[in-house]
């Protein structure tokens, strides 16, 4: 019974985190006409993510084209 009281006390006194509704702040940020595309309006993190994705895409495309070129060449007989 002591264990039950401890567990009930722990559950009932646990503080619940209050979440702040920031939808209106985000709407103002994303609807602001500042010349940026929507995928970059989030700031530095968005810019870093965009550049990383673009870099990986270019690298992957070049890598795939290199191996297509390599596989299209006839093998040299030994």
Domains of the chain in sequence order: 36-77 (4.10.91.10)
| pLDDT of amino acid 19 | 86
CA-to-CA separations, 3 to 6, 9, 11, 12, 15, in angstroms, rounded: 5, 10, 12, 14, 20
pLDDT of 17 higher than 70: yes
Contacts of 38 (CB under 8 A, 6+ apart): 30
| pLDDT of amino acid 78 | 75
pTM score, whole prediction: 0.60
CA-to-CA separations, 59 to 52, 65, 66, in angstroms, rounded: 10, 10, 10
Residue 56: pLDDT band with limits 50, 70, 90: very high
Stretch 69-73: mean pLDDT: 93
| pLDDT of amino acid 14 | 52
| pLDDT of amino acid 11 | 56
């Amino acid at each position: 019974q002591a264990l039950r009281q401890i567990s009930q006390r722990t559950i009932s006194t646990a503080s619940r985190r209050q979440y702040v509704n920031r939808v209106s702040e985000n709407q103002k940020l994303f609807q602001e006409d500042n010349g940026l595309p929507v995928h970059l309006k989030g700031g530095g993190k968005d810019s870093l993510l965009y550049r990383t994705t673009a870099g990986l895409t270019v690298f992957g495309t070049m890598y795939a084209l290199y191996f297509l070129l390599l596989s299209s060449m006839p093998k040299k007989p030994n």
